[in-house]
Amino acid sequence: MKLITVALVYLLLAGMWTRDVDSRSMHVSSSNCCYQFADKRIALKTIQCYKNTSSTCPYDAFILKLKKGRESCVLKTVRWVQDNFSKMKPCLPKTV
């Protein structure tokens, strides 16, 4: 009897924990979707590489990895991004 109670409590806590982690990661751009976009051009030399957002995202965008570990999002449809896309490098899966 006691063991079952302990197991139930443990499961409950585990469930709360994973839900907490999920809800927090939604606010981070590393969830692979973008909801806010840079309104200015980003100098190409500060862009280290780009990542595609996942196809399930509401916006079709790139995540740009910048120097100093920052990240920024740009829409794929933006002119300067399209014009300069060939100069950007994809992020290697390992560094993502």
Ligand X SMILES: *[C@@H]1O[C@H](CO)[C@@H](O)[C@H](O)[C@H]1NC(C)=O
Name every residue whose Cβ is closer than 8 Å to that of residue 58 and which is 6 or more positions away in sequence. 33, 35
> Is residue 96 close enough to count as binding ligand X by CB under 6 A?
no
The single residue among 43, 56, 68, 93 that binds ligand X, judged by CB under 6 A, is 43
Question: Which residues between 65 and 94 bind ligand X (CB under 6 A)?
Answer: 76, 80, 83-84
Q: How far is the CB of 62 from ligand X (least distance, A)?
A: 7
Q: Which is nearer to ligand X, 35 or 80 (CB)?
A: 80
Distances (CA, A) of 14 to 3, 27, 29, 67: 16, 21, 25, 37
Q: Which two tokens stand for residue 43?
A: 């100098």
